[in-house]
Amino acid sequence: MHRGRANYRIRYEKAFLSVKVGRLETLLSPPVMFPDSEAMTNHRVSYTLDSTLETVDSAERTATRIATEAGFDDDEVMRIAMAVREAAVNAVLHGNAYDPGKKVSLEFERVGEDLVITIRDQGKGMDLNKIPDPLAPENLLKTSGRGIFLIRSFMDEVQIHPSQAGTEIKLIKHVHGSSGGGKEASQ
């Protein structure tokens, strides 16, 4: 299994470097390496993304890379990447409404024992009271409307800050270390 993972990383790095420079210039920066927890302390990496679905894919790949380098296991890496993907889709689709003049800000930061991921859009903000409950009987068969629910399920903490200038969502994952202790990601 380890051998296949290494091959995947090689293929992934080649794909990452082949992204068009004109559209995703900031995502082509050299990989950020977090070899141990001390090296990660208070380290921040920021990206500015266009309001397109291609940048959502790039945000997910970047989250996968950074979470892997931060030392999370494969399951946690998948959860972090999926939470970032859902938040980026919400920013592009609901926040910025695919407006080419609006950008999405994506930031990864190691703060103490936490990986903090912040995603900001430039939309009109959102009303948190209007987010439907995906577990309500009338919503169970709907094909959308589960993004925030999934994000909250996959991350240890989620903070949503809507404003007239857009919405900011902070995704926080605690680094549990090798013992695997701590709070589960479901809420």
Q: State how far the Cα of 140 lies from the Cα of 95, in Å rounded to an integer.
A: 24
Q: Is residue 182 situated within a structural domain?
A: no
Q: Is residue 68 situated within a structural domain?
A: yes
pLDDT per position as a tens digit, 157-180: 999 999 989 999 999 999 875 433
Q: Is residue 183 situated within a structural domain?
A: no
- Is 139's pLDDT higher than 90? no
Q: State how far the Cα of 103 lies from the Cα of 32, in Å rounded to an integer.
A: 22
- Is 40's pLDDT higher than 60? no
For the chain, how many structural domains are there in total?
A: 1
Q: Is residue 95 situated within a structural domain?
A: yes
Q: State how far the Cα of 83 lies from the Cα of 95, in Å rounded to an integer.
A: 16
- Is 133's pLDDT higher than 60? yes
Cβ contacts of 140 within 8 Å, gap of 6 or more: 134
- Is 23's pLDDT higher than 60? no
DSSP secondary structure code for residue 31 in this structure? P
Q: What is the CATH number of the domain that holds 126?
A: 3.30.565.10
Q: Is residue 180 situated within a structural domain?
A: no
Q: List the domain range (segments joined by +) for residue 24.
A: 2-174
Q: Decide: helix, strand or coil at residue 103.
A: strand
Q: Is residue 109 situated within a structural domain?
A: yes
Would the pTM of this model clear 0.85, i.e. be above it?
A: no
pLDDT band at 31 (very low <50, low <70, confident <90, very high): very low
Query: Which one is predicted more confidently, 177 or 36?
Result: 177
Query: Which one is predicted more confidently, 121 or 182?
Result: 121
Cβ-count burial 121-146 (b if 16+ within 10 Å, e if not): bbbbebeeeeeeeeeeeeeeeeeeee
Q: Is residue 185 situated within a structural domain?
A: no
Q: Is residue 12 situated within a structural domain?
A: yes
19: exposed, middle or buried (C-beta count within 10 Å: 0-12, 13-18, 19+)?
middle
